[in-house]
Structure formats: structure tokens, C-alpha cells
């Protein structure tokens, strides 16, 4: 069964999609761009600031779903500014500094992203680890 999940700590979708779904042990976050939760405005300051805002929004919502970074299995980063990837990576490293097992990660350069964003990240959490 697949269920749509909600959190007031995530920006409201502007289009027809579920920001978060649960499918079995997986909790999947749709691609997130750096939107302010209250105003819906895109964060300014470049790729590093956008990445930090995405991760801040994710971190704020994770408790609503009982998640920690320990369950983060995979992330996909999309950017229109691959030449500025060191700033993206610096924000990433800052947020995941205390994580003992970092997730799998894919990074892709793209031509454009929604609403003029320079970074979009989607996340996949696995909630039933088998040892």
C-alpha cells in the first residue's frame, strides 16, 4: 500500500503531486527546492544557501514521520550550477557531519529546475533495517 504523508513543516506543493509518500518500509520525499515554508519564496544566496535550506526543511519535517538521518538510504541532487558543486557539498557535509553512515548519493547537472532554483534534492528513507 502507498500512502501520501503530510507535514506542515514542508512547503506546500504548487503542483499536483505528493511531497512525501510511504510505500512499505520506504518513505520517499519528492524533489525539494529551497522554498521558505511560510512565504513560498525561493531562498537566495546561491547553491550552498539553497542546499542548506532544503536540508533545513527536511530536518524540520523528519520528526513528523519518526525519521532520523540514520534511516536516510539515498539522496539525488540535481543542480543547474555543477561548476558550484563545492558549495553544495559543503552544505551537505555540514548537515550530515554527525551521521555515522552517510546515504548513497547521486549528483546530476541539469539544464533547468522548477521556479528558477539551482538545486533540487530528493530523499529516500528506509525504515526497517535488516541486520
* Sequence ranges of the domains in the chain: 2-126
pTM of the predicted structure, to 2 decimals:
0.94
Q: Residue 104's Cα: distance from chain center in Å?
A: 13
Nearest to 65 by CA among 106, 5, 112: 5
- The whole-chain average pLDDT of the chain stands at 94
CA distance 27 to 85: 27
Q: Using an 8 Å Cβ cutoff, are 88 and 51 in contact?
A: yes
The β-bridge partners of 123 are 29, 75
* Ramachandran class of 122: left when φ > 0, alpha when ψ lies in -120 to 50, beta otherwise: beta
Burial of 85 (0-12, 13-18, 19+ CB in 10 A): middle
CATH, range 2-126: 3.30.1330.40
How does pLDDT run across 29-77, given as a tens digit for each residue? 999 999 999 999 999 999 999 999 999 999 999 999 999 999 999 999 9
Amino acid at each position: 500500500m502507498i500512502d501520501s504523508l503530510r507535514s506542515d513543516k514542508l512547503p506546500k506543493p504548487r503542483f499536483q503531486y505528493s511531497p512525501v509518500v510511504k510505500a512499505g518500509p520506504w518513505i520517499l520525499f519528492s524533489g525539494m527546492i529551497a522554498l521558505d515554508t511560510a512565504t513560498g519564496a525561493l531562498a537566495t544566496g546561491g547553491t550552498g544557501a539553497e542546499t542548506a535550506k532544503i536540508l533545513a526543511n527536511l530536518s524540520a519535517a523528519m520528526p513528523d514521520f519518526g525519521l532520523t538521518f540514520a534511516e536516510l538510504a539515498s539522496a539525488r541532487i540535481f543542480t543547474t550550477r555543477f561548476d558550484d558543486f563545492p558549495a553544495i557539498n559543503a552544505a551537505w557535509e555540514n548537515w550530515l557531519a554527525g551521521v555515522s553512515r552517510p546515504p548513497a548519493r547521486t549528483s546530476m547537472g541539469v539544464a533547468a529546475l522548477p521556479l528558477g532554483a539551482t538545486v533540487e534534492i530528493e530523499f529516500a528513507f528506509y525504515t526497517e533495517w535488516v541486520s
